[in-house]
Amino acid sequence: MQFQRVCLEAFGYTLPAESLSSAELEAQLAPLYERLRLPAGRLELMTGIRERRFWPRGTLPGDVSIRSGRHAIAASGIDPASIGLLIHASVCRDHLEPATACRVHHELGLREDCLVYDLSNACLGVLNGIVQAAAMIELGQIDAALIVSGEGSRALVETTIDHLNRDESLTRQSVKSAVASLTIGSASVGVIVCHESSSRTGNRLIGGHAVARTQHHRLCHSGADEAGGDGMHPLMTTDSERLMAEGIATGAACFSGFLQRIGRDAAQIDKTCCHQVGAAHRRSMLESLGRSTDQDYPTFEHLGNTGSAALPISLALGAASGFYSPGDRIALLGIGSGINSVMLAVDWQTTRVQGDDPLAERMPWGTSATVGS
């Protein structure tokens, strides 16, 4: 993938006000911990995740995607009438049919001849959406696109807690397959991608590369296809150790091809933004690529793994906090269960971000809304 005329223009985000710490989550798992004699503090120690967040009960993915979409449009300053593509790209959606993107499109008042659809690919949905939008912009089919995601974790975390406390057949070994489910957090993000002629930032999307090692598609697996909010009762099983090992190998292969595609070597990458899973995954992934954690912006400690929103919202929060500077050459290191990896290169110039974070004052990123001029 190589792009000549595409800019990653602006971001909008929405974060929940309700926070559940790992210590509080472990307290809810008291029956399991007592039965297996597990030490307190184990979850945060293993994952590096201090807390994750939940939307209010009854919140639908589309509700927060609409808010993030409005933020992204406002931050970009572009005319909404120029948006020719809307993609809802999260794992979570309002219902099976119609596409959640339909309600988002209606509420945002976008034009009638805008392409509207859902796209879901685990944690890579938003990056996949950006690639599709960039290709259409390069072909002259559209001038601008909006990709949104609204990920909710309450149902998965609460169902997992209930299952772990009730299933007395679990052992210290078998319980490991549920740990990843306890790291999932909620977040929403919107991304504006546009033609360079409409850009106010000059944040050029250079190109990228993808690798699919789908022989590992069973390493992280949820149950039946369910949609909606509080009525869901999802469970997910994850072979975390193998998933991390195979995921890192997939990422390393993708990074090698990525550098070749964009015509740069590793020394020419100034900063990275990787998918946020946890401390061990982030450290191991970056080490395998010869990258320093000091050059990467983390959010997992306070947000957990927010699925398809994780990488783009980390880029947005990092940019708003000043971590990414004008002139930085940034590599977006995406990876998702399946196993798939997508990596994109962005030459950063100007930050245009607007967001809503009720807990911003106690977060490393500080402010709840920043718009670059």
Contact 359, 17 (CB under 8 A): yes
> DSSP per residue over 258-299, as a string?
HHHHHT--GGG--EEEE----HHHHHHHHHHTT--GGGB---
Residue 359: band (very low, low, confident or very high) from pLDDT cuts 50, 70, 90:
very high
Do 65 and 148 fall into the same domain? yes
10 Å Cβ neighbour count for 18?
A: 14
Residue 224: band (very low, low, confident or very high) from pLDDT cuts 50, 70, 90:
low
| pLDDT computed for residue 373 by the predictor | 42
Each residue of 228-242: pLDDT tens digit? 555 556 666 666 677
Do 86 and 179 fall into the same domain? yes
Closest by CA position to 144, among listed 100, 208, 86: 86
Whether 92 is covered by a domain: the verdict is yes
Whether 193 is covered by a domain: the verdict is no
Do 107 and 233 fall into the same domain? no
Residues 6+ away with beta carbon under 8 Å from 112: none
Contact 187, 151 (CB under 8 A): yes
| pLDDT computed for residue 366 by the predictor | 73
pTM of the complete model:
0.92
User: Which residue in 7, 92, 114, 123 is the catalytic one?
Assistant: 123
> In this structure, what DSSP letter does residue 172 have?
T
Mean pLDDT value across the chain: 91
Do 242 and 326 fall into the same domain? yes
Question: In the chain, what percentage of residues exceed pLDDT 90?
Answer: 78
More confident site: 280 or 54: 54
Domain count, the chain: 2
Which pair of tokens denotes residue 209? 């590369």
Each residue of 79-125: pLDDT tens digit? 999 999 999 999 999 999 999 999 999 999 999 999 999 999 999 99
Asked whether residue 75 carries a pLDDT value surpassing 80, the answer given is yes
Q: Is 97 a catalytic residue?
A: yes
CATH number of 287's domain: 3.40.47.10
Residue 59: band (very low, low, confident or very high) from pLDDT cuts 50, 70, 90:
very high
Average pLDDT value for residue range 188-207: 97
| pLDDT computed for residue 238 by the predictor | 65
| pLDDT computed for residue 215 by the predictor | 78
Do 175 and 269 fall into the same domain? no
Residue 177: band (very low, low, confident or very high) from pLDDT cuts 50, 70, 90:
confident
Do 162 and 305 fall into the same domain? no
- Of 129, 150, 183, the one marking the end of a domain is 183
Do 253 and 314 fall into the same domain? yes
Average pLDDT value for residue range 216-220: 69
Do 79 and 50 fall into the same domain? yes
Beta partners for 115?
A: 85
Q: Is 123 a catalytic residue?
A: yes
Average pLDDT value for residue range 280-301: 92
Average pLDDT value for residue range 183-205: 97
| pLDDT computed for residue 197 by the predictor | 96
More confident site: 216 or 102: 102
- By residue range, what is the domain housing residue 261? 204-350
Average pLDDT value for residue range 331-349: 93
Each residue of 253-264: pLDDT tens digit? 999 999 999 999
Which pair of tokens denotes residue 146? 């909006």
Do 155 and 110 fall into the same domain? yes
CA contacts within 13 A on the Cβ side of 368: 12
> In this structure, what DSSP letter does residue 305 have?
B
Whether 260 is covered by a domain: the verdict is yes
Beta partners for 274?
A: 333
Q: Would you give the end-to-end CA distance of the chain in angstroms? A: 30
Asked whether residue 365 carries a pLDDT value surpassing 90, the answer given is no
Whether 281 is covered by a domain: the verdict is yes
| pLDDT computed for residue 18 by the predictor | 97
